[in-house]
Amino acid sequence: MGMWSIGVGAVGAAAVALLLANTDMFLSKPRKAALEYLEDIDLKTLEKEPRTFKAKELWEKNGAVIMAVRRPGCFLCRAEAADLMSLKPKLDELGVPLYAVVKEQVKREVEDFQPYFKGEIFLDEKKKFYGPERRKMMFMGLIRLGVWYNSFRAWNGGFSGNLEGEGFILGGVFVIGSGKQGILLEHREKEFGDRVNPLSVLE
């Protein structure tokens, strides 16, 4: 009887943990980025002789859509990049460029990401685009139903990936207006594979 009670208690505790893990109660809340914060970020080109410049150059004239990539080798990130690329013809019509930033350059990960994201990619070594407060999702992501749904959707779409590089710091997507218009859309990943709504980007 005692072992039975312990077993039932363990199952109950596991069920409660699973339930809590699938609410947003324990997710770190993002702090909104200010335009002044983003403008001052140092980015590097990925050429053999890299150039360092201030991020505001990306949107000063025509605005920009910028994806902060969690991990280029991740199949979920590749699926989101492909979603954004589907908007490129319309963005080109509007004269709005599409860029990505990565937080590290590991092996051929950036090159292997480019078939999914055909815009320019820059290096954000200080991970500022992932702030002002960096948020991480650790192994709780493995028991979130949303992550499993996102994974199934990406697998079903034919995306694959690898485990190279840092993948716990969550990314996001920004739509920034030209000049001092400011941040028009700020989408922060709340879990692995949490994609921005493409219609929201166009709006």
Could you tell me which of 178, 193, 165, 140 has the C-alpha nearest to residue 59?
178
Residue pLDDT, tens place only, 139-165 = 776 778 888 888 999 999 999 999 999
Of the residues 33, 77, 121, 176, which is catalytic?
77
Residue pair 124/68 in contact by the 8 Å Cβ criterion: yes
Could you tell me which of 97, 94, 67 has the C-alpha nearest to residue 82?
67
Beta strands in 61-181 (DSSP E): 64-68, 98-102, 120-123, 172-176
Taking the CA atoms of 203, 53, 29 and 83 in sequence, report the sign of the dihedral they define: positive
**Whole-angstrom Cα distance, residue 4 to residue 162?**
42
Residue pair 166/77 in contact by the 8 Å Cβ criterion: no
Q: Is there a catalytic annotation at residue 132?
A: no
Question: Does 10 score more than 50 pLDDT?
Answer: no
- What the chain holds in terms of domains, given with CATH numbers, is 28-202 (3.40.30.10)
> Which range among 12-21, 73-82, 83-92 shows the weakest confidence by mean pLDDT?
12-21
**Whole-angstrom Cα distance, residue 159 to residue 150?**
11
State the average pLDDT for the chain.
85
**Whole-angstrom Cα distance, residue 191 to residue 64?**
24
Of the residues 74, 110, 147, 154, which is catalytic?
74
Residue pLDDT, tens place only, 29-73 = 767 889 999 999 999 999 888 999 999 999 999 999 999 999 999
Contacts of 185 (CB under 8 A, 6+ apart): 173, 174, 175, 196, 200, 201, 203
Question: Does 19 score more than 70 pLDDT?
Answer: no
Alpha-carbon Rg for the chain in angstroms: 19
Q: Is there a catalytic annotation at residue 94?
A: no
pLDDT of residue 18: 45
